[in-house]
Chain A
Amino acid sequence: MESRAIVSYQTPSGQRVEVVKQTFSSVRKRPAKRVAFVSGLHGNELEGIYLCHLLIRYLQNLQRTQPKAFQGEVHIYPAVNPQAISAGSRLWPFFSQDINRQFGGDNGNSLPAQSASELLDDLKSSVDIAVDFHASNLHLKEAPQIRILDGLHKNLLPLAIQCNVDLIWVHPASPMFESTLGYNLNQARVKTLVIETGVGLRLHRKFADQLFQGMLNLLHHTGVLVDTGSLPKIDPPVIAHPSQVALLQSRYAGLFVGHSDLKKNVAKGEVIGEVLSATDGEVLQEVTAPESGFLFTVREHPLVYPGAPLARIALRDEGCP
């Protein structure tokens, strides 16, 4: 494994902050494929950092024991926003800026914009396929899923189904995504999958283990790894198109108390939670599934305002059992 700093700058106290890339080279002169794993754009999303740890550990061991297994190249960027990760905050702390809104176009010359630009350039020049790991924010808990912008699904679905996620959500395009790493890599013809899993500032080992198997499968599927023994076992995902996802929102300000776990099929009318008055004993809203389907998002943060998302359900196709 080779380590290289792709971004480096000095802090006010004279120390250096570096964004490190770990590379596992191919035994072939022309690698079969070059795959990157990126995590930590948001410093409070730790699932991806743990996944990168699992991948690095596995690949280091594999390189020692079976170096010829590497027919392609793997690049791992485990912590691309080191200061935000150190602070456990979504935003780059000193600047209060979301680095995942700094990609593409002319974003000025702030340090986050420069770092975003250097990361994007490095990825564009060195990989064919990228996986950008995210957890949810502090408000929602997500089942392991891949989100694909409508229009990119034909290109990305064949890769996404290899990743052992519970759900692939093809969702509508919006200007909001145009400044993200995933969008800009896809625009640059680097096939990029954006994974969302878990919740901010927490690790879910089961989710991480599930995704770890998926990432190994992806590396085999793309020909980056060969002959490593038995292939990882993966399950087929639910695939939801824009009209097949129901968003349940709070109608009131209050406390949301969830009654249902993630990653389960819910029946129409099933209670998912309640919104309670924070000041008296009143139940303001019983939150029920509008249709049968797969519950893949549930609110974790109990404080809610009107309009707050509470849950998402991938609706079951009509006619399916």
Chain B
Amino acid sequence: MKETILSIPSPLGPPTDLLKFSWEGTPIKETVSIVGGIQGNHLNGIYLCSRLIRFLDAVEAEIEPDYILKGRIQVIPAVNLPAFQEGNRLWSFDDLDMDLAFPGNDQGEVAEQIAAAVYQHTKDSQFGIILNNADNHYEDAPHLVCMNPDNLTKDFARSLGPPNAREPENSPALRLCLYNQWTENRLPSVILSAGKPNHLDRALCETLFAGLVNSLLWTGVLVNKRKKTKKYPVRFNNRNNEKFVFAGAGGFFLLLVQPGSEIKKGQKIGEIVDMYSGTVIDSPLAQSDGYLVTLRDYPVVYQKEVLAVLLKKQKFSFWPF
């Protein structure tokens, strides 16, 4: 079912419509909520939602005969629609970060009304997934973000596919994020981050799509008569496990590695060259072995900026189950 859960008129143009798509099977035991596009340029997540919508419409229409709906699935694909339509991370009218507006206020300004509608429609779910990209100028290898996951959340994370989970930054601003509102409401949930902003990586999305369908099967809201649910190994990393590589100078960053690769201690991450002369002025090195989860994508860098984030290998290098 396609539903407009909020419509805010505009002074001149079309209204801002917040859409929710949902499917129900019987008996309804669980509800899974999937939210994308909290930032207007997180396109992989918005596209993934469209893939899911097409697939679930086909399941509902019995075009996918092996699948049966046994619960409720709801997808809100584009939370920050005004920013998405501008091609920006933030909506230029207010320059507010939508993910600092939760739980929102249904009597407030546009961002607060949208946040309130998203939160109200998802807070009573049994599971939640937020689809993100890396921050501006970065690319993320597919990974999950979850805070102090209990066993149920860990098992949920293991149904999605990415091999690593990180903890979010423990900042006061986190309290204003949708993810934190969900976890405070005891909703087992994860953030799935993959790729870079302003880009749509179809091949990556297909891989993630398979994981999302698997997670729906794991939760039981979707059943496949022939397929068993997969349980993927996931390494849960704490913040202390993250090692950063910084730019020692400003200039062009010419990268030599790829996100998702294993990096050795002392390995050169790339080179920073003077933007006029092309002279190499810094050769940032990895300070430890680790999995390269986030890498600078935009080549123009300031001194002191983070170029790469490595997930250092833990003493017990793998703890899948």
Contact = CB atoms under 8 A, between A and B. Distances in A.
Nearest to A301: B93
B14 to A, nearest CB: 11
Contact of B10 (A94, A96, A178, A305): A305
B100 A176 contact: yes
A43 B171 CA distance: 23
B310 to A, nearest CB: 12
B136 interface: yes
A10 B170 contact: no
Contacts of A96: 89-90, 95, 136
B242 to A, nearest CB: 9
B250 A306 contact: no
Contact of A309 (B109, B171, B252): B109
Nearest to A17: B302
Given A279-B12, A305-B11, A12 B250 contact: yes
B275 A12 contact: yes
A5 interface: no
A179 B90 CA distance: 19
Interface stretch (A107-115, A146-154, A203-211, A312-320): A107-115
B142 interface: no
Interface stretch (B56-64, B72-80, B172-180): B172-180
Contact of B246 (A13, A109, A178): A109
Contacts of B110: 305, 307
A291 to B, nearest CB: 19
B107 interface: yes
Contacts of B137: 95
B193 to A, nearest CB: 14
Contacts of B97: 98, 101
B244 interface: yes
Interface in B151-210: 169-176
B122 interface: no
Contact of B172 (A14, A105, A139): A105
B109 A9 contact: no
Interface residues of B, number: 46
Nearest to B252: A12
B12 A278 contact: yes
Interface in B295-317: 300-306
B250 A14 contact: yes
Given A101-B97, A105-B169, A109-B244, A10 B302 contact: yes
Contacts, number: 117
B274 interface: yes
Contacts of B304: 9, 111, 114
- Select the residue from A103, A104, A175, A308 with max chain B CB neighbours within 10 A: A175
B169 A107 contact: yes
Given A176-B176, A253-B8, A306-B8, A11 B109 contact: no
A249 to B, nearest CB: 7
Contacts of B303: 9-11
A-B pairs, 6 with minimum CB distance: A178-B172, A10-B303, A10-B250, A105-B171, A253-B9, A179-B172
A312 B304 CA distance: 42
Contact of B250 (A13, A175, A279): A13
A252 to B, nearest CB: 7
Interface in B79-109: 89-90, 93-95, 97, 100, 107-109
A175 B171 contact: no
Contacts of B171: 102, 104-108, 179
A75 interface: no
Given A175-B172, A278-B11, 20 more contacts: A10-B302, A12-B252, A96-B90, A98-B95, A101-B100, A102-B171, A105-B172, A105-B173, A105-B174, A106-B170, A108-B306, A109-B246, A175-B176, A178-B172, A252-B9, A304-B11, A305-B110, A306-B8, A307-B109, A309-B109
A107 B303 CA distance: 18
B306 A110 contact: yes
Interface string A136-177: 000100000000000000000000000000000000000110
A253 B13 CA distance: 10
Contact of B302 (A12, A89, A90): A12
Interface string A238-282: 000000000001001111000000000000000000000011000
A108 B113 CA distance: 28
A254 B250 contact: no
A176 B300 CA distance: 32
B251 A306 contact: no
Given A106-B171, A107-B173, A176-B176, A95 B136 contact: yes
Contacts of A215: none
Interface string A49-64: 0000000000000000
